[in-house]
Structure formats: structure tokens, C-alpha cells
Structure 1
Amino acid sequence: MSKTADTSTDEPQTNQAESDLTDFLAERAELRVSFEEPDDDRERRYDRLPVARTQAGNQADVSDFPSGKSHGRGNFSKKTYTRYRDTVNDIIQSQDVSDLMEVTPREINRWNQLLQRRDYARTTRDGKLETLEVFFKWAETEWRAPRDDKISETIARKRNDLNVSGDEKSRSGDDNHRISSERAEEIIGHLAKHHYASRQMVEFLLIYHIGCRKSALLSINCSDVKPRKGTIQIRNRPEESGVRLKRGNKGERDVNISPEIMAVVTDYIEEHRSKPNDGSDALLTSWAGRIDDSTLYRDIAGLTKCGECSDDDGEPLTKQNASDCPESIGCHDLRRVVITRMRDEGISWDTISGRVNATVQMLKQHYDSPRSRERQNDGKPRF
């Protein structure tokens, strides 16, 4: 049975920005909306978010939302509600916004940079900015955000800078932003020959071998590597590592590692790992400590750039600006390559699900193509 809204006085008070968001959502979803801790097990970036409830107090299900077709213009289906809820709540929480009237272009810029660090594709960032733009246009007409220095226009300029075409949007999610398995094998071969057991080689190998998310990769400590067992432990220790697994404690697991890859990881730890000044036990380090997601992104983009692109001065792209190469990809795109490869090789959904820590339902929704069904066989992941 769904629980009713918690009215405990121990709950943090809703600030003005959060109240504006609940008003926006409630009006369009035709439901009661309030900030609270969600009572389901789905992935959440923050502990509190707007929860929609029926007049009876039950958490709203799909059937409780307007369809958008049988109701007046502007009413939200549950999918649309979730998109606006998560996008606007993200900027409110991540940028510590308490009042929309105090939002400046600086907060918008910082949030846009945060989306980049999270390794979102340009089409995804454009979609999130578009959602935020609609929300701020509403807030401006309601006098809940500045009407003179319009934030919605700042957001529109950010979208113009991305310059995402309609054709790109229609292709987002297909094979237009990934590399082939053959190209991945070439990268691994080059690393083995010229940069054996480097940090970049370990990063690329573990994503390509495990299909893990970047949060899982960044969370690994040296002590999590178990050569005798042939496993790497993935644990959720945000207080220690500063990295939270996307699914929290549910993302914890022990992953089997092939002897060849385990040898590379152990050689890296013993010979090439930077000893951080903070004494961290992190697997992936610089001199300062555990690397962050922006460093990981640059490493992967640097490995996957084509090598022929140049900057405005005609100089070859470096790791720092490798993302300017249209063939470069980030960690999330490499993970997609791995999942598709596993599926093409006939590995079962249950096995893939356990390895990459994603539900079978989600995997089937995004990766079950006619091509993968036709190419099923009994193969195993390659080195």
C-alpha cells in the first residue's frame, strides 16, 4: 500500500524555489505535489524530490496523470511530469537555489558545466536545457523569476551554443555516437604496446570489460582488487570516496575479471599508479588523490579521438580538447558499446544485467534491436 505524505516536523522546510516547482507541477499534473522522500526504489540523485499524490493521499500512478490528449493544453503525463521534476529539481538542489528571483546566469552556467562533467551527450544536454527554459518562461510570466533580465533567454543562448540539429535529435540513442568493437580493440592494442598498465589503459579496459558506470569505476580502491579471487569489489562508500554509486548500496557487487585484465590492473598498481599526496587508497589517482569524473572523461575522450582533427590554430587536438573531435566518446557511450557487444555475442539479459548493474527491463528497452537478436550466438566477451 502506498504511504501517505509525511507531515513530520523533522522534514526540512520547503523553500520558495521548491514551492514554485511544486506549484508548476501540481497545476499541470492536476495532482497534489510536495517535497518529500520518495517511497520507491527507483534511482534518485537527491533524497528529497517533488512527489505527486492523489487527493486521497496515495502516490500517483500512471493512470492518475492526465494524458495530455484528453485534457487541456499543458497537462502532464507521468513521463513529462518526471522529466520536469528531475530537471528543475536538479538545478535547485545542485546549485543551492532557494528563490528563483535570485537566479543569475552564473547558476545556469554552472549547471550546464555540471551536465558536461556528467558526460551527457549534447542531445541530452539540449533536452534538459529546453525543459528548464520552458519552466523559467512560466516563472517569468508568473513573476516568480526576474522579468527584466530573463533567465530563459540565457538558457536559450546555451542551447544555441550547443547547435543541436533536428537530425541529431532524431538520431540520438542510435549508433551515431559510439565506436565499433574493432576500434575498441585497436585502442586496447595501442595501449598495450605503447602505454601498458597506464591509468588510461586500466580505465578503458575496466569499462570495456565490465560495462560499469563511471561512478562505479571511480569508487574502486586498490584493496577492492582481489587477484587471487579474480574479482573486483564495487562498493558504495560516498563518505570515504566522495563518489556515490548511481544505485547506492544496490549497486554494490563483485565482478569477475579475466586473468589477462587482472594482470594489467595489478601491474598498474605496483608500477604505474601515482602515489597521491592525500594517502588515498583509490585505484585511479593523480598526485592530488582520487581522480574525478571530468578527468576520467578527458582520458576516455583522448583515447577515442580520431587523431586527425585539429584546433582553430591547426594544432592536433590534445586530451584537454579531445571532445571537439566528432568521433571521440565519453564513458557512458563506451558503456553502451560494451552492452551492445555483449548482446550481439548472445550473452543473456540476466548475465548482462548483473554485470553492468542495470535492470533487464531497462536493457531490453534500450538495447534489444533486431540486429542484436539476429546476431545472437554463444560467444563470450573478448579481451
Structure 2
Amino acid sequence: MGGNGGVGVSERERQRTDPAEWEPAEAAHRYLRRRRADASEKSIDGWQYRLKLFTEWCESVGIQYVGDLKRYDLDEFYELRSAEIEPVTLEGEMYTLQTFVEFLEDLGAVEDGVSDAIRIPDLDPSERASDTKLATDDALALLRYYRNSDQRGRRGHALLELAWLTGARQGGLRALDLRDVHLNETPWVDFRHRPDTSTPLKNKIGGERPVALPEEVADVLRIYQRKYRYDVRDDHGRQPFLAARNGRPTENTIRNWCYMATQPCVHSECPHGKNRETCDWVDYTHSSKCPSSRSPHPVRTGAITWMLNRGWPPEDVAERVNASVQTIENHYDKADLSERRRRLRNRMEKRRRPLLDQLDISETNE
């Protein structure tokens, strides 16, 4: 107890720093540490990069403590970044900055309402994501070729079948173990979140889900497993389904496999006027340079668009690919105008046509 009879104050408590006196870099570190419990490492890495740009700017203009931040500082930072980057990139940076400053407000490190001064670009949904996708015609041509050629069941074919028919993210495909791919009479794959052994899912436990497979896809995967899969284990003793010679592939390796598997010249003439026998782009290390090749993300985008065009309700697609309906509508549904019109007509026929009988005024219905 203190000599004045009040509650004693420890030396540690006297030395605690007022949050307003945190340096911007320290405050960003504390914010990211709090978010690690509910966010993926990829998200943390992205936020860390964005906030590093902001804290370096603070240092360059002499803002020593976060308590010194004023509304006009945030507006000035917005003006600086808006002159250097695309609107869609600016939107992401400003959202990250806004949530960071809201964190500081909650702790009393900055004045209430400072985060309101952070401008967010007002973008049309079509501006938020690239229209690049693996087009349906291209995907189906590739799959038909692989299924009916001596390439059937090889690793690139197996990867493309899984990516197109499940709409899974690259990390989810990489995370699959041999034990997660069930190729019995009712084939399905089980996406599991295993962060402790280096295969986290983007949405963590929320990304875990079973996904049913068509029998034709299962047959391809059986061939791959039996004839072409390397019988290896990763550094944690697990058996990756999509296996490299030395174990589980890196994300960059998965991308390169996908680039190689989606080159149109594997089944037809090169649309870019090149000869496959002499083209540098067919080399593993240069496959991403082919304008027609696609990484897993555009394959996912194309697959989601295809599922919607095939008449799948958005809610069912969202569950299959582990995304919200709003995210699908804003970022993944890249149907052109004719596809959208056809989709609406089909929906009308399937869902609304049977209801017309209830609008028949020739009969008396109470």
C-alpha cells in the first residue's frame, strides 16, 4: 500500500506508455498483433505492407506520435497516394488505414472521429477486380483435350480438374492431402485448415468444407493417384495430394503448374502466332509470360462464372467455393451481357414459369 493510504501503483504501471505516445510503427505492430487471432497470414502480410507505407510517411513529415495525427494529415496522405496508385489499390490501402485508426480511437490514442476523415474511393464493383479469367470455352476445350488424350490423369490435368470443378483457392488446392481426397462411389474432397503444419485456409476454420466431385473428375484423379502422383511426404510427414518430386509444392509451384496446364497450344494452334516447338513460353520458368495462360485465381473466377451460368443459385456456389454471395457478385461473376441475359431467362423458366398457374384469373382461387 502507498504511504498516502490509497491503492499502491507499481513501478511497471508508472512506466506504462500512454497510447497517444506510441510511435506510428509501434502502434501498427500492436494493431497487427491483435488481428493475428482472426486473420490469415496473407491478410496480415498485406496489412503490414500497407501500414508500413503510412508509418514511413509519418516519419518523413515529422509525425512522431500517433496522438499527433490530425484529420488533415490523413487527407494529405490520401492525396499523396491517390496520385501514385490505381483507385482499386487506393481503396484497399484506405480501408486498412481506416480500421487501424479506429483501433487507435478505441484505445484513446487519437481523438474520436479522426477515422472519419479517411476517404475511401467510391468505386463501381466492376472496377474492383480484373476481368481476367479462364473463359468457359477455353476451360472446356482444355478439359476435353486432357480427358481424351495421353495427358489424361497427369498432374497438370488433375490440378485443372480440381480447380475448375471445385472453384477452390490456390491455398486450398495446395493444402489437400491424400487422405482428403475420397474417390469411392460418392467422390468428394475435404478442405481442411491445418495452420500448424503450414497449410492454412484463407478463412481458417470457416474455410473447411466437403465438396462433391462428378464421377468423371474422380476417374481422372484415380488415374493421377495411381500412375503419376509422387509418393512423397512433406516436412510434417503429411502426404500432399498434388505432390512435387520433393514433397508439397510451394504456392509459386502451384501457379506455374497452372500456367503450364492452361496454355491453349497444348490442344490447338497458338493464338499468338508462335510455334510450340520453339516457343520460350512453354518452358516452366517462362510459362506465366504466355498471354493466354492463367494462374489459379483466374481459373477460380472462370469456374464461378461458369457455375452461375449453368444455373447454380449464387448461395450454392458461395457455399461450394467458400465465399459470400456479395463477394461473388462483386469480384468473381464475370459473365458478359449475353451470358447474364441467358442466365436470367433460364432462371425465369425454372423458377417462375410454374408459378404462372397461380396467376390464372380464369379460375376462382380463394
Distance 2:221 2:321 in 1: 19
For the pair shown, the structure with the greater C-alpha radius of gyration is: 2
1:215-256 per-position Cα deviation (integer Å, ceiling 9, x unaligned): 11111111112222321111111223x110000011111111
Indicate the residue corresponding to 2:76 in structure 1. Answer: none
What is the identity, as a one-letter code, of the residue corresponding to 1:285?
Answer: A
Please state how far the C-alpha of 1:329 moved relative to its aligned partner.
Answer: 1.6
Distance 1:209 1:326 in 2: 23
Indicate the residue corresponding to 2:62 in structure 1. Answer: 142
Alignment pair present for 1:375 and 2:342: yes
CA contact (8 A) 2:182 2:188 kept: yes
Distance 2:43 2:34 in 1: 5
Indicate the residue corresponding to 2:103 in structure 1. Answer: none
- Comparing 347-356 with 300-309, which one deviates more in the overlay? 300-309
Indicate the SS of the match to 1:233. strand
TM superposition score normalised by structure 1: 0.57
What is the identity, as a one-letter code, of the residue corresponding to 1:218?
Answer: R
Indicate the residue corresponding to 2:240 in structure 1. Answer: 282
Indicate the residue corresponding to 1:187 in structure 2. Answer: 142
Distance 1:172 1:326 in 2: 21
Distance 1:40 1:344 in 2: 37
Indicate the SS of the match to 1:323. helix
Q: In the superposition, relative to structure 1, how do residues 48 and 35 fare at CA in structure 2: closer, same or farther (>3 Å)?
A: farther
Which among 282, 294, 316 is matched to residue 280 of structure 2? Answer: 316
Alignment pair present for 1:19 and 2:26: yes
Work out the number of aligned pairs and report it. Answer: 258
Distance 2:36 2:175 in 1: 26
> Which aligned pairs between 1:169-318 and structure 2 lie closer than 5 A?
173-175=129-131, 177-192=132-147, 193-228=149-184, 229-240=186-197, 242-276=198-232, 278=234, 280-307=238-265, 308=270, 315-318=279-282
Answer 1 or 2: higher relative contact order, Cα 8 Å, separation at least 6: 2
CA contact (8 A) 1:255 1:355 kept: yes
Indicate the residue corresponding to 2:355 in structure 1. Answer: none
Distance 1:277 1:210 in 2: 24
What is the identity, as a one-letter code, of the residue corresponding to 1:37?
Answer: R
Indicate the residue corresponding to 2:311 in structure 1. Answer: 346
Which among 347, 361, 383 is matched to residue 326 of structure 2? Answer: 361
Indicate the SS of the match to 1:287. coil
Distance 2:168 2:31 in 1: 34
Indicate the SS of the match to 1:254. strand
Indicate the residue corresponding to 1:89 in structure 2. Answer: 48
Distance 1:248 1:38 in 2: 13
CA contact (8 A) 2:256 2:287 kept: yes
Q: In the superposition, relative to structure 1, how do residues 322 and 17 fare at CA in structure 2: closer, same or farther (>3 Å)?
A: farther
Please state how far the C-alpha of 1:91 moved relative to its aligned partner.
Answer: 7.1
TM superposition score normalised by structure 2: 0.60
Give % identity. 21
CA contact (8 A) 2:304 2:317 kept: yes
What is the identity, as a one-letter code, of the residue corresponding to 2:146?
Answer: L
Distance 1:348 1:251 in 2: 20
1:40-64 per-position Cα deviation (integer Å, ceiling 9, x unaligned): 97xx224997xxxxxxxxxxxxxxx
1:268-322 per-position Cα deviation (integer Å, ceiling 9, x unaligned): 11111012265631101112101111011001112223544679xx743132211
Gaps of 5+ in 2: 1-12, 65-80, 86-125, 350-366
Q: In the superposition, relative to structure 1, how do residues 136 and 201 fare at CA in structure 2: closer, same or farther (>3 Å)?
A: same
> Which aligned pairs between 1:27-176 and structure 2 lie closer than 5 A?
34=31, 37-38=34-35, 44-46=39-41, 87-90=46-49, 132=53, 136-142=56-62, 173-175=129-131
CA contact (8 A) 2:24 2:58 kept: no
Distance 1:232 1:250 in 2: 16
What is the identity, as a one-letter code, of the residue corresponding to 1:360?
Answer: V
Indicate the residue corresponding to 1:147 in structure 2. Answer: none
What is the identity, as a one-letter code, of the residue corresponding to 2:318?
Answer: S
Distance 2:248 2:310 in 1: 34
Distance 1:18 1:48 in 2: 18
Please state how far the C-alpha of 1:39 moved relative to its aligned partner.
Answer: 11
